[in-house]
Structure 1
């Protein structure tokens, strides 16, 4: 089990500078829109993702300082939107999605946001090579995070 968890380490390089500022503003607006559409108050969503209501408000206004990749991913997953760090990679197209991962995603009908998350997973510079390996990694992540909801 330890090796599976260790396998989930991934390297992601977030965008920088003006691109990030624009992405954070856009992300904040989408967070606010989706939060309202899904019937969450700021307080409820903040509790769900483990931040203060004030900080969530700053995120929604695009004024949050040092928005972590982890929190952006938590919000994105909870609300079904891409994080600002995923947006830059999305514009690169499907070039970074291995064929075996694409096949797994099609077979198991996993959401696009989960597909993109899996595409970023590496362990010592390597990714799973077979559909069954992707399925194991995905199920470990799902099982490990289901208690967070």
Structure 2
């Protein structure tokens, strides 16, 4: 039987902050049993159970973590509880720079926008940058 942290009467050994706790959370979010995830990831059910329930268990190898992440449809960074570092944009497109200056955007927003590509290319006009930036800003309410 799986255990859940924070549920009365159940052990709290594997916290949300551990690799095992995150594996459990993503597995349960996807309504997968230990057996189903084990089969999809190509690891044993016992090993997954140990990862999820034993805070002293050795961390999985990078290859094993990758197969589990892939089976869950998440990144290895998600399982490790780390944020991915975006590649630094080497160049700010002229149209973005013009839009940013008109709107007095913070430099952090300009860097974020500079990483955006659609079908391999950045937007080409100030109007496209404005549309994308507006969509991002108005979508903030969804996260609340």
TM norm structure 1: 0.42
- RCO (CA 8 Å, sep 6+): is it higher in 1 or 2? 1
If you compute each CA radius of gyration, which structure gives the higher value, 1 or 2?
Answer: 2
TM norm structure 2: 0.44
Q: Which structure has more helix as a fraction of its residues?
A: 1
